[in-house]
Structure 1
Amino acid sequence: MRDDGKWIRNAATGIVVKEQHLLMIRGDWPWPDTFFLPGGGQQPGETMKECAEREVLEETGVTVTARRLAVLREYIPARHTDEAPMLSGATHRLEAMFWCEIATEPAVLGGHNEDTVQTGVEWVPVSKLSHIRLLPPTLPRIIHAVINDPADGAIYLGDDHV
């Protein structure tokens, strides 16, 4: 952390799709029944791909291989007064979203190191993404772009929240 208390949190998430369903975490933060991709903060000495793979396993029980960077997104809370602040206390988040391939899947979803705000893990139909509460709110647009052309290059969103 810098002396001024401002810091950037690197994070990675996994985009895991099976039969037109997206692997998602259900949580009670910042609002009840909010869905988000499995993922979290990068640890020292860990690549972003390794971070995505570890976080998906810890939160869902699904072992994945992160194949390619799909989306690079920044989130600067000061620019989003209509959204809840980050739990980590960081003043800026850099999130790498990786297209992941399933290696193994447990009979029952559930991780061994779930987030404190996590209330469940679900395979959510991609067609339902526009009808549920998501973080980030732009997730339906992101997922549809990635699914429609998974071989395309990474998308940089910057601090896009539209």
Structure 2
Amino acid sequence: MNDRYIRISTTGLVVRDDRILLGRGDWPQPGTYWLPGGGQQPGETLAACIEREVHEETGVRVTAGPLIQLREHIPWNHPGSPSTPHVHRVVALFWCHFVEEPDALGPTVPDDVQTGAEWVPLDKLTGLRFVPPTVQASLPGLITQAGGLNGFYAGDVA
């Protein structure tokens, strides 16, 4: 029996006052950061998915801006990947426009491994434990291009 399947999800890039909005948690190691996001539900647009997911993971309300990256992760092509080994992921990364922040930043519907959310200064981004690392490496360029974003397909990346 083949238990492999494809999961479509979104992540959001939210930048405000030279800070980036990130989720924080204990996967795959304690003190790991990631862009907020998660799986698309049947009947939900990708834009609605990222707006919901950012709110669930951080409490922050956003509106979806342009798609800035489409990437895949096929874990059986990347030995040693900490990802779920049977889930081929397709991830749409959106630039998100800040709308509103709650009195207390934090998840409204936290993931099992999530311990919080925070605004991280952009100059501290490179020193973080971050998943996936390929996204972390691409963030400075994506943030710099914020005014003239052009989406691209990143292919199957680790």
TM-score over 0.5 for the alignment? yes
Cα drift, residue 71 of structure 1? 1.0
Aligned to 1:40, the other structure's residue is in SS state: strand
Query: Does the alignment pair 1:144 with 2:140?
Result: yes
Aligned to 1:5, the other structure's residue is in SS state: coil
Which structure 1 segments of 5+ residues have no match? none
Aligned partner of 1:94 in structure 2 is 90
Q: For 1:153, which of 147, 150, 153 is the aligned residue?
A: 150
Runs (4 or more) in structure 1 with deviation over 3 Å come to none
For residues 80 and 90 of structure 2, the distance between their equivalents in structure 1, rounded to whole angstroms, comes to 19
Aligned to 1:158, the other structure's residue is in SS state: strand
1:135 alignment partner AA? V
Map residues 101-112 of structure 1 onto 2, 5 A cutoff: 101-112=97-108
2:105 alignment partner AA? L
Query: 1:47-106: CA deviations, max 9, x gaps?
Result: 1111000000011000000011011111111122232123xx642000001000011111
Change in Cα spacing, 1:112 to 1:152, as seen in structure 2 (3 Å) is closer
The number of residues matched between the two structures is 157
For residues 82 and 124 of structure 1, the distance between their equivalents in structure 2, rounded to whole angstroms, comes to 28
Aligned partner of 2:53 in structure 1 is 55
Q: For 1:29, which of 27, 30, 45 is the aligned residue?
A: 27
Aligned partner of 1:19 in structure 2 is 17
Percent of aligned pairs sharing the same letter:
47
Aligned partner of 1:83 in structure 2 is 81
Which structure 2 segments of 5+ residues have no match? none
Aligned partner of 1:71 in structure 2 is 69
